[in-house]
Structure 1
């Protein structure tokens, strides 16, 4: 491990190195939570730790700031644990091997956990420094953010007096995040019936799609492999008769699926017609998606004549109806903020089993009523097809506030430090600010952070000079508050 003692700011990187030495993937944050409790106790700071491991550390104001309103500093304790195939670390038990690569800090063979270890490091460095001027601080550190904002959702904030919150969970310096979407996951299950049928077995596969994050990249108009498979199966049904044997696609609700596949039975004399249909459909898709998803590929290959359990005609119609009418992609753009997605839906996982079609979907909206309406549409469609929908993982939006003294302060401080205005953005993804805003009346929020690249992958990098600049900015904001 490269020592971080040479990096500035020393205190921030000292605590970041400590954090990285402690395992803290989602659901395994207890050691790090306990470390933070000991940190607080050793400095005589009041601390609340709940049964999940969520924390609130209270720090009194520095001299001259005693009459100021408290400020909540917030981040999460857990990290996404991903490693390369040849990495021998057990991320539930082992610390990370840190590497300095020029201006970047990374980890050997694993994610770095800058999301959100850097927030913890900033907070501990602040609490450990008696010379930094600041109002009363309430440091909120949550667990299981990366797996559905679970810690914040279950946390009791009744002891928090602060009504101004700085969330340090953004990954691009110079951008102030001022709102985020709410979300919900849906699992749609539609029953199917099968019968034994004989024909030429053919395999259909969509591949080469770019995919991406179903919130942050949904506006890029990339193809969704599940939707495309549904469209092709409907198109193929108009060109020739077939029976559907199997179908699947996608790996995560919140990822735009990059591939999908199906197996069908057709009569041998219809094979050439099916292959021509695939070529024609692919040409349509290439025209539609153009530069947005240029490497989309569709292939239809024949296997052998066989007897299989395939869907009945009625069940095939139900499946095609679901895949055709369940919305996909951007549903509405914001009327308040230009070029910002308001509402979207992403079918992320699809599986056709012997008895049912399952679709797992991610819904997002910065307007709660729009999210509810979209959920009701899906539920009603699935019910009409004889199925049912289960919703879970609901989290609220953090709506853009037209008036925000905290935002105004952060903008002014940024302009004073750098001679230019920061970029203000809302993101089409979930932040804990939405949950805290729903639980703490009148909460004024902002989110920012240093530059991080390739987050949630073993290529993750934290930009060292950016960490120092954001540290200086954070201190200046606290001084101005």
Structure 2
């Protein structure tokens, strides 16, 4: 292990975070981290169960004097979004995350860090291991596949949990108590490709849009950052209007819940149009830099000559179908809440465009705190897909987490925060999906709250979190658990 974090406090939290960072755990690849959690429990003789979805529940009895306090569920997810820049050499299936410290912040090295949600695991494991902390009975719930489908929470058998007080540790702003979140749907548009033979005597080129910041498609959708896939649609629409271009593939974005930072197109262009295409790339880079000068000033548009020869290309109808879909798919904020100032109510993100076999897949992450508005956006995308000769597939759907005006958990957290810091904690709702909504459907009467330390630039290679904030939230959490016998 790297032991980069060994001098930091709280020592046990950072020790476990560094251990977790050594274990590959992209969404859908949680076997190893699930095994680690089971072994952790067995080594410490704690009760542990694991289900077919690889969810793990570890139970720890109440500390002396807390036997009559209500059982608390501490919850976080095992998986992480695995993102890197195209030039970064890192294999997420086997390589550990390379940690580094910059002042008060912990970063990975040119990859996502996994603080979302590795810090939840670290907090819970530190609490489970400790023998000097006052707390009620604890049920530590570690779920799988949160970042892609929430499949772990959806598959969970609620009968395995006794607690009805849930502390979710998947938030990213210290001092803010999260009490409501959006529901979401992952919708995949499938466009069939009609192929024709590639032309002879033409250049093979790669058109690339990159340099964008990206970010979380819920939490950062309001920052108006560029979406590489949507920008490529505008670029292609302009190119094909002025010259013949023959596409062989398009691939952009990595995850539907991350704003895409890069997109590539491989195509054929005639020799006589090459210089015209180069000029158009330069023009569009200036256009994009002007439009995104505040949100994404590092955007770049590049044209590269490829040595490879192509066997086949999209026919004209398939190119037009793709371009229309990229141009017309809704993207970004769809509505703002009129009840909570500054809260995005509904949005959608064209996160992934992928050429595979004889189809183009365009994967959208739809979010809304209003179920009917989520359905409306979904129907719009479905109508567009079918109009263009494609189809829509629903890959996942999860419910919104509704605000509970009578939450005893919220009242306790507010009281403790006021006592510790002599100021009020901020009560917020977010435009992102949390497992609290799913779990509320499985556990009748569940009273939930979500909190966490300051984490920045999640779902991007710039992801980082604050050392001082991690310590503050740990101390706050312990004080709340200490007073849990007052509920």
- Shorter-normalised TM-score: what interval? 0.7 to 0.9
Partner of 1:233: 236
How many positions carry a matched residue from both structures?
475
Q: Are positions 1:366 and 2:377 aligned together? A: no
| Inter-partner Cα distance in structure 2 for 1:192 and 1:60 | 58
Instruction: Note the C-alpha offset of 1:327.
Output: 0.8
C-alpha change, 1:10 and 1:347, in structure 2 (3 Å) is: closer
- Matched residue, 1:251: 253
- State the match for 1:123 in structure 2: 124
Q: Which residue of 2 is the match for residue 32 of structure 1?
A: 36
Q: Give CA deviations for 1:239-286 in whole Å, capped at 9, x if unaligned.
A: x35243334131312332233335354694x77776666566555444
1:215 and 1:130 mapped to 2: Cα distance? 38
TM-score by length of 2: 0.80
**Are 1:448 and 2:448 matched, yes or no?**
no
Larger displacement relative to structure 2 (444-453 or 384-393): 444-453
User: Residue 63 and residue 291 in structure 1: after superposition, are their counterparts in 2 closer, same or farther (change >3 A)?
Assistant: same
**Structure-2 change in CA distance of 1:110 and 1:250 (3 Å):** closer
Q: Structure 1 291/82 Cα, relative in aligned 2: closer, same or farther at 3 Å?
A: closer
SS of structure 2 residue aligned to 1:233: helix
Q: 1:437 aligns with which of 436, 440, 443?
A: 440
Match of 1:389 in 2: 392
**Based on CA coordinates, which of the two structures has the bigger radius of gyration?**
1
Verify the 8 A CA contact 1:57 1:140 in the aligned structure 2: yes
Range that drifts further, 443-452 or 217-226: 443-452
Shift of 1:382: 1.1
The answer as to 2:317 corresponding to 1:317 is no
Partner of residue 378, structure 1: 381
Contact in 1 for aligned 2:253/2:262 (Cα 8 Å): no
Structure 2 unaligned segments of length 5 or more: list them: none
Name the Cα RMSD after superposition.
4.2
1:4-35 CA distance string (max 9 Å, x none): 77654455456556666777664222432322
* 1:55 Cα offset (Å): 2.8
Q: Choose from 422, 427, 446 the match for 1:424.
A: 427
CA distance in 2, matches of 1:116, 1:4: 17
Choose which of 352, 356, 360 in structure 2 pairs with 1:349: 352
Is the partner of 2:76 in helix, strand or coil? strand
**Mean alpha-carbon deviation: is it higher for 352-361 or for 212-221?**
352-361
- 1:310 offset after TM fit, Å? 4.6
CA distance in 1, matches of 2:424, 2:231: 42
Question: Aligned-pair distance for 1:417?
Answer: 0.2
Give the match for residue 418 of structure 2. Answer: 415
SS at match of 2:432: coil
**More displaced stretch, 363-372 vs 349-358:** 349-358
**Which is further off, 87-96 or 110-119?**
87-96
Partners in 1 of 2:381 and 2:66 — Cα distance? 52
Kindly provide the CA deviation profile for residues 350-405 of structure 1, in whole angstroms up to 9, marking residues without a partner as x: 24568443322222223332222222221221112221222213333323444433
Q: Which moved more, 1:100-109 or 1:470-479?
A: 100-109
Partner SS state of residue 216, structure 1: coil
CA distance in structure 2 between the aligned counterparts of 1:186 and 1:226, rounded to whole angstroms: 16
Deviations 1:294-338 (A, max 9, x none): 23344568999x998554443333223212221111212223322
Deviation at 1:212, TM superposition (A): 2.6
* Cα deviation 1:119-153 (Å, max 9, x = unaligned): 34433444455654433432222234445433222
1:415 Cα shift?
1.4
Q: Distance in 2 between matches of 1:3 and 1:282?
A: 40
The aligned runs of 1:157-172 (5 Å cut-off) are 157-172=158-173
Q: Deviations over 1:106-130 (max 9, x none)?
A: 7899876554444344334444556
Helix, strand or coil at the partner of 1:449: coil
Q: Aligned-pair distance for 1:201?
A: 4.7
Moved more, 322-331 or 94-103: 94-103
Contact 2:135 2:481 (C-alpha < 8 Å) held by counterparts: yes
What are the Cα deviations for residues 157-179 of structure 1, in whole angstroms up to 9, with x where unaligned? 12323222101223332222223
Answer whether contact 2:84 2:110 (CA < 8 A) is retained. Answer: yes
Judge conservation of contact 1:219–1:341 (CA < 8 Å) in 2.
Answer: yes
CA shift, 1:156, in A, is 0.8
3-state DSSP class of the match of 1:258? coil
Return the TM-score normalized by structure 1: 0.81
Q: What 5-or-longer segments of structure 1 have no aligned partner?
A: none
Q: How far apart, CA to CA, are the structure 1 residues paired with 2:274 and 2:7? A: 67
Task: Give, in whole Å, the separation in 1 of the partners of 2:474 and 2:310.
Answer: 66
